[in-house]
Amino acid sequence: MCKKFILLVSILLTLVGTTQAGLYVWSGEAGDGLWETPANWTVTDSTWTWPNEENAADPNLAFYINLDTLAIDVNDGGVVTRGDRLNIENGDELTTAVLTLDNASSLTVSGRLSIGMNLMGELNVLGGSTLTILAGDNGDDLYAADDSGSAGTINIVDSIVDVADTIAIDSGEGYINISGSSTITADGITVADSADGVGYLDISGSTTVNLTDDFKVDEGIGTITIGGDAVVSFDDDGYLPDKTGE
């Protein structure tokens, strides 16, 4: 009897945990193209997750992905605009919030896009999609791992990323993987921007990276790897791996 009771409790806990995770898929049904409009999203397997009327109406919450959200997908040519900064982070140490752009979709953010922020997050830009970061009141850069103890991963495959300012791994632990025939344009790329940061940047395929400023590992611990036929150009301070002897 005791063993059966323990098994039953375990099953219930598993089911309850599952119902707290939501998948948001962009539908664009509202017709305004705005990230913060709840009617633009189709929600599955979810209870009380963002975006919803309550959170979207609050400027302090609308740009967060809370602990209930498992993933956000913008697929099949979706065109999405966010007029302020955007943070992709989980609220539970056991999960990672994931934003995926795929199949020639696009996302334009006027402000900082932070992947991981204080916790854990992942961004996938795939299949000919486009990510654009414009200057806004709250930043103009793309960050993986913003704070100490955070973790962020950015994967870019066969896609375009255009950032007004810097692509950076700051504090915490961050990974940026760029491959395929991707094109990256930014002011600079900085790995391990802070002393407590650990960062890994991998550029491969036939990727082209065009920078108008720095390309470097800064105060923390970082690794930059360039392979395949990838080409990186920058106009200021730079750090490139020493491949002599290979």
Domain assignment of residue 32, yes or no: yes
Contacting residues for 221 by C-beta, under 8 A, at least 6 apart: 192, 197, 198, 199
Amino acid (one-letter) located at 219: E
Residue 35 burial (10 A CB sphere; 0-12, 13-18, 19+): buried
Report how many domains make up the chain.
1
What is the strand order of the sheet 172-179 is part of? 41-44, 22-26, 69-74, 97-101, 120-125, 151-157, 172-179, 197-203, 221-226
Domain assignment of residue 4, yes or no: no
DSSP state of 195: T
Q: Which domain holds residue 60?
A: 21-233
Domain assignment of residue 83, yes or no: yes
pLDDT tens string 50-87: 444 333 333 444 444 444 566 788 999 999 999 888 88
pTM (two decimals)? 0.82
Domain assignment of residue 11, yes or no: no
pLDDT tens string 176-197: 999 999 999 999 999 998 889 9
Distance CA 126, CA 103 (A): 7
